[in-house]
Amino acid sequence: MAQPETVDHPRSADPKELAKFEAMAAEWWDPEGKFKPLHMLNPCRLDYITRQIAAEFGRSRDDALPFAGLRLLDIGCGGGLLSEPMARLGAEVVGADAAEGNIPVAALHARQSGLEIDYRHTTAEALAEAGEQFDVVLNMEVVEHVPDPAEFLATCARLVRPGGIMICSTINRTPRSFAAAIVGAEWVMRWLPKGTHDWRKFITPDELRTMIEVAGLRFLDRKGFVFNPLSWRWSISDRDLGVNYVTTSRRPGAAAGATAPLSARG
């Protein structure tokens, strides 16, 4: 299938948001740089993602290449912090980002790591219009940065094959999230430049679920990502969705692989 052309004025991309991440592109792989919060969160994100994929496709995480044969899209891939581990686990990975400056950074790091990842400067709309579909769509920390979250999620849903899943994470709109994501991360710790997040664009779990279901996906699961300032670690919570949280949903239809019981998820 031919690669989709880049969209000059993508509907899902806010030029101001793209400019923020373009300015930080070269720092993606610096664990002490502007993306330190994502480096700290990444082990927790990967634990959730790999558990969900393994459960939904009947795979064992103990296998050398548990996700071999699965086609995966990392939309808003940035520097490749999720694309690379997914490729190491055997998935055929497409990393897409509307911020052009992120792609050469991601591609160079993948080459240096000996990984084959199909990185593209493109958008969800362009991929959908080209008829691309995937067993797994990772939609992580993107939806709070787009102009129209409902339209963006509807487009992403079109990219999920029947029986495939979308894993989507974002930030809840609560007083705690303002304190943690903006006051803490941007103003006090200065992990991110001021203005990286707009609290008004944060999305509650119920709002996100409604948008996902309207897009035609079946909602399966949601968990919180919780930061402990004493241990300086993130963990997965069944109950605390007050700041960061993640969801899994499935497109109805025949799965690409054997599906494990729902009780295996988590």
Average model confidence (pLDDT) across the chain: 86
Q: What is the pLDDT of residue 45?
A: 97
pTM, full prediction: 0.84
State pLDDT tens for residues 114-130.
999 999 999 999 999 99
Q: List C-alpha distances in Å: 264 to 57, 98, 209, 239, 241.
A: 11, 35, 22, 18, 21
Of 185, 226, 174, 210, nearest to 44 by C-alpha is 226
Residues 149 and 120: their CA atoms lie apart, in Å, by 22
Between these two residues, 188 and 59, which has the higher pLDDT value? 59
The region of weakest confidence among 81-95, 111-125, 162-176, 184-198 is 184-198
Domain boundaries, the chain: 15-255
Pick the CATH number of 15-255 from 1.10.3720.10, 2.40.30.10, 3.40.50.150, 1.10.10.10: 3.40.50.150
The mean pLDDT value for 185-191 works out to 52
Question: How many residues does the structure list for the chain?
Answer: 266
Task: Quick: pLDDT tens for 170-181.
Answer: 999 998 887 766
Residue 196's nearest CA partner among 180, 181, 179, 176 is 181
Region for 131 from its dihedrals, namely left if φ exceeds 0, alpha if ψ lies in -120 to 50, beta otherwise: left
What values do phi and psi take at 29, rounded to 5?
Answer: -100, 15
Looking at per-residue confidence, does 83 or 201 come out higher? 83
DSSP code of residue 34: T
